[in-house]
Amino acid sequence: MAKSRKTVDVADSYAVRLMQHLVVPTFVIDPKRRVVIWNRACERLTGVGAAEVIGTSKHWQAFYETKRPCLADLVALDRPEQLPEYYSEYAARGHNGLGFSAENWCVMPKLGSQLYLAIDAGPIHDEAGNLIAVVETLRDLTDQKRAETALKELATKDGLTGLSNRRAFDQMLLGEWARAQRTQKPLALLFVDVDHFKLFNDQHGHQSGDECLRAVAAVVSRHAVRPLDLAGRYGGEEFALILPDMDCDSACMVAEAIRCAVMTLAIAHGATGAGDHVTLSVGVASHIPGSADDSPDRLLGAADQALYVAKRLGRNRVICAEQVLAEFAALGQKAVPAPVRRKSA
């Protein structure tokens, strides 16, 4: 019996030494969620020494600024239902000793930088099925995550201006349309067009044309100030701005601010048939979607029509869709000439 006990002690000692030198960052907590092993790779990953956490329940301080459970804690507590609360990506691999997996950004207070970690935590039970420890292993996926994020941004950004591209804009518009339909709040849309841009290119060349578009894009982007506002390059010299929870009057104020800001840039134009400086025409529409509005086509069409009217009335102006009929009535026209109607993707 003594020999058997000695063999177990030797095996335990060997397992601990092996885990200490494992190249994978690993720590172990007991059933009371106190750290019993904090290996050297974990020290290197977190900047936290084993002496700071062994025998304590302060392992969370290596990863977060405010107290919260780590994945090993959720395994020890058997709380798979709390995974969505703490992790953006997760999997509960079931009971029977399989544990949980998760991924998330950790602030790493000792390092002063964030790391994106892939985390696995599994329970260890004795022969009677009692929990005796939980092992958590960590993998640093920060470089891969940043590369993935950069690729996603490339797929959604316009290469010339850095604004959202048409595909990303259309997806956002569909999402905001559905949200406005649920909340019954208005959704505003601006179409912003650079006046006489073809003449500008002919006069100054395409390189100057690109610089002009970037300057206009920067102005449009500065007016997408709220978290859900989105500025995009809709195509060519045309930009668009989604303004959730905004009525037509407020959206017209934003449009006028954009128009005036571009005039302040005083970008020289001077082509025959154009003014001295680059100007914008802006069409504005706002709508609260009804139950029958299954797409934002009506909003797109209204903003497009308002832009068309702004150009017909002489350019360098803001027209709201609600003003369209009144503007043309003032010119003695009974109907508004309709442009090609836009539709959502």
Residue 26 in tokens: 């690993």
Active site residue 153: no
Q: Is the pLDDT of residue 337 over 90?
A: no
For residue 167, the surrounding DSSP H or E stretch is helix 166-183
Using one digit for the tens of pLDDT, what is the confidence trace for 78-128? 999 999 999 988 987 654 457 999 999 999 999 999 999 999 999 999 889
Cβ proximity of 25 and 121 under 8 Å: no
- Out of 43, 136, 176, 237, which one is annotated catalytic? 237
Q: Is 220 exposed, middle or buried (0-12, 13-18, 19+ CB in 10 A)?
A: buried
**Given this model, what pLDDT does residue 8 score?**
41
* This model's pTM is above 0.85: no
Q: Is the pLDDT of residue 168 over 70?
A: yes
Residue 334 one-letter amino acid = K
Task: Establish how many alpha carbons lie within 13 A of residue 213's alpha carbon, considering only the half-sphere containing its beta carbon.
Answer: 27
Using one digit for the tens of pLDDT, what is the confidence trace for 40-79? 999 999 999 999 999 999 999 999 999 999 999 999 999 9
**Given this model, what pLDDT does residue 18 score?**
82
Residue 162 in tokens: 């850095």
Using one digit for the tens of pLDDT, what is the confidence trace for 276-313? 999 999 999 999 998 888 889 999 999 999 999 999 99
Phi, psi torsion values for 338, nearest 5 degrees: -95, 130
- Higher-confidence residue of 18 and 207: namely 207
Q: Report the alpha-carbon distance of residue 287 to residue 282 in Å, rounded.
A: 17
